[in-house]
Chain A
Amino acid sequence: MSDSLSAAPSATGDAHADDHHGHYGVPGYDPIASRMGMWLFLFTELLLFGALFIAFAAYLSKYPTYFAEGSGSLNVPVGAFNTVVLLTSSLTMALAIAALQRGDKNLSIKMLNATVLFAGVFCVIKAFEWGAKIEMGIYPGSATLAAMDQGKQAFYNMYYTMTGFHALHVIIGAGLILWVKKRTLDDRVNPKRLVLMENIGLYWHLVDLVWIFLFPLYYLIA
């Protein structure tokens, strides 16, 4: 165990120490450390969603037929389209980073704009999906939902919770992308210091990844 732990840092530790020249031990720009910090943060996000997935698994095994019925009431083409939208946004995010690495700031900004646009499209479609359900009276606390079977209630409670948390992450992610766009325009994020954009890209891919699990679990188990 200790070997695998020591492999990564000792390879980089010495190189890192050389960065400091006369000023020993003054933390400076260290993209490896920043990325490590981001990955650790992503672990916390994974565990947060992981807890929700555990709850989902528990209820799915308790109410398999109700979950299948509930899943049947969701619109698969719309969900599939949203999946494509989000996957494409991950592509544009990756292209934004690649463009800045090559020094093409204009293209990078365009790609960031496209990513935010796709995030917006995703949220609008999601809002319409929720809206359709809410119009039918199916929302947390409604009389219609309370009159349904318990398994159905569990399904919709989980559906609103998990897609809601995911949508919240999409909105936060879009906000972060706008922030890094501003920093890129200011040249505070530039080809030599682009770890901030990379980190926000990582966050965005995580948001995407969570949806890749949510889509089949909610839409395709009918």
Chain B
Amino acid sequence: MSNDAAALPPLEQVDYIRAKKGLKSWLTTVDHKRIAILYLIAILTFFIVAMGLGVLMRLELLNPGTDFMDGPAYNRILTLHGVIMTFLFIIPSIPAVFGNFLLPIMIGANDVQFPRLNLASWYFYMAGAVLALIAVGLGGVDTGWTFYVPYSANTDSNVLLPMVAAFLLGWSSILTGLNFIATVHRLRAPGMKWGDMPLFVWGLYATSWIAVLATPVVGITLILVLMERFLGIGIFNAAMGGDPLLFQHMFWIYSHPAVYVMVLPAMGVVSEIIPAFSRKKIFGYWFIAVSSMAIAAIGSLVWAHHMFTSGMADEGRVIFSFLTFFVSVPSAVKVFNWLATIYKGSIKIDPPMLFAFGFIFMFSIGGFTGLMNASLSTDIHIHDTAFVVAHFHYTMFGSTGLMFFAAMHYWWPKMFGRMYSFKTAFFGFGLFFIGFNLLYFPLFLAGLAGMPRRYQDYLPEYHGYHAASTIGSWIMVVGLMILFINLIVAIWRGKKAPMNPWGGATLEWQIPSPPPTHQFDAAPDLTHGPYDYDFLYEDEDQPKETEVKA
């Protein structure tokens, strides 16, 4: 470690948070770490807002009949919940916050390739967010986040603003993706080969390609709907020779790959946490790296499984069903590799590791129920039921959302230089885990029993499922609030975090916490790989430094 010490910046160097003062210094920053913090604040705010909306929907569903929200109001709330959660929270979540913060550091660079473009993409994000909020102020939208025609072309609610918002948010994620790809290609530290990159970087790289290649399709599709509304060009209007089904195809050509935009970075986070807390080299590095690219490629060809009941040729349905089953192969490869990494490892269960275990559990449920959706005959029965709602909440929220929280717990000490209370984190996670499963698992059963999605009323026979689910939502929200408050309090009250609290081997653990603005004065030490934990124990002093009592 003596070599490293020479390469490190002097300790009195100011960290990136205190480097400059004032709101303006934040709003005009081009430092990737500060931009990550800007995203973190915005994304968490929107998450909490949309979670509140979700709780309101659950509250309405507690009893059959209309309690305090009628059908039209419920439609607007569910659209808002979906639009905010999809476009403002889960798509940007991990890449925009942790990708921005860590991708340059993990490859030994001082910033992304195009720092100003990076800031611009935050402004695109905020512009989209503001438009979405104005749309809410004007009475909301009732189309659902999927904006299906012909309804979206005819509804009285204001579709213009959320569609333009989705378009701008799309540009935000395209520009971030473009930036990440160029950064990975051009700014890797001298000597770092593709096989030396941490797997989180691979996940971000695969994600970036999907964002760049798929997002433009939904962009043009939404514009075509707006053209129908305002110019009378009915590309999707059956009365003018158009085909409404084409909209669904073009929408899902983006929006299905988008779920891999959401989940691939989450898998990248798992691939960082599991080896670090198993003190063992990741099992099957290349399988995990290549499976990310395979998911990105195959995942682009499965979109029509959202449309099995929409009217499609049988040949098409069989092909899309097969491809959907096929895409689960690289996903399963990852899960097996993680389990093999844990096997005979020296496991230490700190909060991030517990979250990762939670991910494997929830993702397995989400993945298997996904296969049930993918098989044609089963799908006829469960299509548009609460089963589907439960399925995608397990994958999107229980998996990706959970790993966003895991990433917060794993990298918080690095980002803010403070440790949080482990006990509180364990307690919060426990509540979250119980609440989450109580919230969503009954929906599988309700769906199988025939409960349709997107309804604010239901027959009395579904009351048990819904009551359990609503109670679950309360427990889950309390758990999440405990997790968030624990982290936020830690910024001021937490113990100072050491450079490497978890004993990680990737580059971010070899620079101070929090890092200085200019994190690498010289090329970083690459004598050990991202998962070679042996180096930590070669030196007598090192293990002491990594021990944490919180």
Residues of A within 8 A of B (CB): 1-2, 5-6, 8-10, 12-14, 16-17, 24-27, 30, 32-33, 36-37, 40-41, 43-45, 47-48, 50-52, 54-55, 58-59, 62-63, 140-141, 146, 149-154, 157-158, 160-161, 165
Please tell me if B110 contacts chain A, counting CB pairs below 8 Å: yes
Q: A151 to B241, alpha carbons, bound, how many Å?
A: 6
Among A2, A54, A151, A152, the residue within 8 A (CB) of B290 is A2
Please indicate the chain B residues that have their CB under 8 angstroms from the CB of A10 in the complex: 193-194
Contact B187 A25 (CB under 8 A): yes
Whether A5 contacts B216 in the complex (CB less than 8 A), given A157-B235, A161-B235, comes out as: no
**Inter-chain contacts of A51 with B (CB < 8 A):** 216-217, 220-221, 250, 253
User: Within 8 Å CB of B177, what residues of A?
Assistant: 40
B224 CB-CB contact with A under 8 Å: yes
- A33–B241 CA distance with the chains assembled, in angstroms: 45
Answer yes or no: B384 CB below 8 A from chain A CBs.
Answer: no
For B242, B521, B522, which residue has the most chain A Cβ atoms within 10 angstroms? B242
Taking a contact as CB atoms under 8 Å apart, the answer to whether A24 and B523 are in contact is yes
Q: How far is the CA of A30 from the CA of B113 in the complex (A)?
A: 9
Kindly state the separation between the CA atoms of A192 and B225 in the bound complex, as whole angstroms.
Answer: 45
Q: A47-B214, A140-B231 are in contact. List 19 more A-B contacts (CB 8 A).
A: A13-B190, A17-B189, A24-B110, A24-B523, A25-B109, A27-B187, A33-B114, A33-B185, A36-B186, A37-B113, A40-B178, A40-B182, A41-B178, A50-B217, A55-B235, A55-B250, A158-B235, A161-B233, A161-B235
Q: Decide if B240 touches A6 in the complex (CB within 8 Å).
A: no
Query: In the complex, what's the smallest C-beta–C-beta distance from B170 to chain A, in angstroms?
Result: 10
A140-B520 in contact (CB<8A): no
Which positions 137-176 of chain B face chain A at CB distance < 8 Å? 174
Alpha-carbon distance A24/B189, docked complex (angstroms): 9
| A residues in contact with B109, CB < 8 Å | 25
Let me know if A44 and B182 touch, CB within 8 A: no
Could you tell me if A25 and B520 are in contact, using CB atoms closer than 8 angstroms? Answer: yes
The CA of A10 and the CA of B115, in the complex, are separated in Å by 22
CB distance from B195 to the nearest CB of A (A): 8
Q: Which residue of A lies closest to B179 (CB)?
A: A37
Interface residues of B in 186-208 (CB under 8 A from A): 186-190, 193-195
Could you list 19 examples of A-B contacts with CB < 8 Å? A2-B195, A6-B194, A9-B186, A24-B520, A24-B523, A30-B186, A33-B113, A33-B182, A37-B117, A43-B212, A44-B216, A47-B216, A48-B217, A51-B221, A52-B220, A54-B249, A141-B232, A150-B240, A154-B240
Q: Which residues of B contact A151 (CB under 8 A)?
A: 241
Instruction: Provide the residues of chain B in CB contact with A152, threshold 8 Å.
Output: 241
Interface status of B286 (Cβ within 8 A of chain A): yes
B214-238 near A? 1/0 per residue, CB < 8 Å:
1111011100100100011111000
Contact B241 A154, beta carbon cutoff 8 Å? yes
Q: Give Cα A38–Cα B215 distance, bound, in whole angstroms.
A: 16
A139 CA to B182 CA in the complex, in Å? Answer: 43
A58 to B235, CA, bound (A): 11
Q: Give chain A residues whose Cβ lies under 8 Å from the Cβ of B188.
A: 9, 13
Residue of B nearest to A45 (CB): B216
Could you tell me the distance between the alpha carbons of A101 and B215 in the complex, rounded to whole angstroms?
35
For A59, list chain B residues within 8 Å (CB). 241-243
| A74 vs B177: C-alpha distance when bound (angstroms) | 40
Asked if B270 is at the interface (CB within 8 A of a chain A CB), the reply is no
Residues of chain A with a CB closer than 8 A to B185's CB: 8-9, 33, 36
Q: How far is the CA of A20 from the CA of B185 in the complex (A)?
A: 17
Does the CB pair A48–B186 fall under 8 Å?
Answer: no
Instruction: Give the residues from 238 to 256 in chain B that come closer than 8 angstroms, CB to CB, to chain A.
Output: 239-243, 246, 249-250, 253
| Beta-carbon contact of B187 and A153 below 8 Å | no
User: Which of B182, B212, B289 contacts A2 (CB under 8 A)?
Assistant: B289
B108, CB-defined interface residue at 8 Å: yes
Distance, CA A5 to CA B289, complexed state (A): 12
> Are B212 and A40 in contact, with the CB atoms below 8 A?
yes
Does B14 belong to the interface (CB within 8 Å)? no
B408 close to chain A: CB less than 8 A? no
- Given A24-B520, A37-B114, A54-B250, the answer on whether A62 and B243 have CB atoms closer than 8 Å is yes
Question: Which residues of B sit under 8 angstroms from A1, Cβ to Cβ?
Answer: 290, 293
| Neighbouring A residues of B221 by C-beta, 8 Å | 51
Residues of A within 8 A of B60 (CB): none
Instruction: Say whether A157 contacts B217, CB under 8 Å.
Output: no
Q: Is B213 an interface residue (CB 8 A)?
A: yes
Q: How far is the CA of A8 from the CA of B188 in the complex (A)?
A: 13
Contact assessment for A37 and B235 in the assembled complex, using a CB-CB cutoff below 8 Å:
no
Closest to A50 in B: B217
Q: Is the pair B286, A2 in contact by a Cβ cutoff of 8 Å?
A: yes
Cα–Cα, bound, A47→B234 (Å): 21
Q: How far is the CA of A13 from the CA of B188 in the complex (A)?
A: 7
User: Within the complex, which residue of A36, A45, A154 is in contact with B242, where a contact is CB–CB below 8 Å?
Assistant: A154
| A167 nearest CB across to chain B (Å) | 14
Decide if B235 touches A17 in the complex (CB within 8 Å): no
Q: Which B residues between 485 and 540 are near A, CB-CB below 8 angstroms?
A: 520-523
Q: In the complex, which residues of chain A have a beta carbon less than 8 angstroms from the beta carbon of B290?
A: 1-2
Pairwise interchain contact A55-B246, C-beta atoms closer than 8 A = yes
Contact call B193/A6, Cβ cutoff below 8 A: yes
Q: Does B15 contact A (CB under 8 A)?
A: no
In Å, the complex CA distance between A14 and B108 comes to 14
Q: Name the B residues within 8 Å of A50 (CB-CB).
A: 217
A9–B186 Cα distance when bound, in Å, is 7
Select from chain B the residue with minimum beta-carbon distance to A17: B190
How far apart are the CA atoms of A153 and B177 in the complex, in Å? 38
